[in-house]
Amino acid sequence: MLTIEDKFDIQQLVARFAHCSDYGDWVGMEALYTSDIVTEMDGIEMKYEGIAAQIAHAQASDEQAQGKNRHYHFNLVIEETGEDVFANYFIVNVNAGSTPMGAQIVVTGRHRDRVAKTQDGWKFARRFLTFDQNVSLTF
């Protein structure tokens, strides 16, 4: 059974991802994943396997957004299913823009992340993202 501390640590994992991704802390981001991490997105053929692929995708996204990518996560529900633990939450991805009133919502959706407790704390083991919009990626 998950403890309150486990649930807090999982919440912090989700929050750290946003901070690392949005502010280019690639070293910090590496520490958030198990070595066999896989990220998949509903309706998109490609998947990102391994830590290096996660970082490369985040860097390409950061470059495309000119450093203005922001991830906002809401309504986190942590679920234990047998031996697996999932972090389920909504996401709003925003391009912050360069001027007041210049921010734009890029996509919205929901994450279902399988997380694993390791000797170094909670980490993302498998991520699945379902977008509310029709999305295609080339990076």
User: Considering the domain boundaries, does residue 139 fall inside one?
Assistant: no
Mean model confidence pLDDT for the chain: 95
Number of domains forming the structure of the chain? 1
Domain assignment of residue 50, yes or no: yes
Q: Which of 124, 132, 91, 127 is nearest to 112 (CA)?
A: 127
- What is the tens place of the pLDDT at every residue in 78-111? 999 999 999 999 999 999 999 999 999 999 999 9
Burial of 32 by CB count in 10 Å (0-12 exposed, 13-18 middle, 19+ buried)?
A: buried
| Contact (Cβ atoms closer than 8 angstroms) between residue 92 and residue 116 | no
Could you report the per-residue pLDDT of 64-83, keeping only the tens digit for each? Answer: 999 999 999 999 999 999 99
CATH of the domain at 113: 3.10.450.50
pLDDT at 137 over 90: no
pTM of the model: 0.94
Per the domain annotation, does 38 fall within a domain? yes
Res 135: pLDDT: 82
